[in-house]
Amino acid sequence: MRTPLGRVRSLGAAHTGTGDFWRQRLTGVAMTLLIIPAIWVVMMLVGRNQAGAAQILGSVPIALILLCFIVASTWHMKIGMQVIIEDYVHDEKLKLAAVMANQFFCAVVALTSIYALLKLSSGV
């Protein structure tokens, strides 16, 4: 439902909320499916030195499981924080800055985690 003024100005819903809703649910399901293997890998790494960790993470299936978990969790984090920012920050300039900072932070976390995983799995 739109107000008459909203109809005149063509203002209203941006029609992007449903996509974000389903992407957040999809990443949530992916994390649910990947959490047990990710915990299993972390438990295998407990008490090992860097050479032992590189040997375990050098396995392609294990590296792929952790890579998928990193991507799903950072994407889920980005969407969740963006929804919170859009709902609770009312100043438009502050909202824009917070959304941009959220995007940057999530990208840095994802890229740093992927770099660390690739560096450990390559044995360097």
CATH code, domain with 93: 1.20.1300.10
Contact criterion met (CB below 8 Å) for 56 and 41: yes
Tens-place pLDDT, residues 34-91: 999 999 999 999 999 988 888 998 899 999 999 999 999 999 999 999 999 999 999 9
- Total number of domains constituting the chain: 1
For tokens 């940057």, name the residue. 104
78 domain-assigned: yes
10 domain-assigned: no
6 domain-assigned: no
Residue 115 pLDDT > 70, yes or no?
yes
9 domain-assigned: no
- This prediction has a pTM of 0.80
5 domain-assigned: no
8 domain-assigned: no
Contact criterion met (CB below 8 Å) for 57 and 38: no
85 domain-assigned: yes
4 domain-assigned: no
Q: Which domain holds residue 53?
A: 16-122
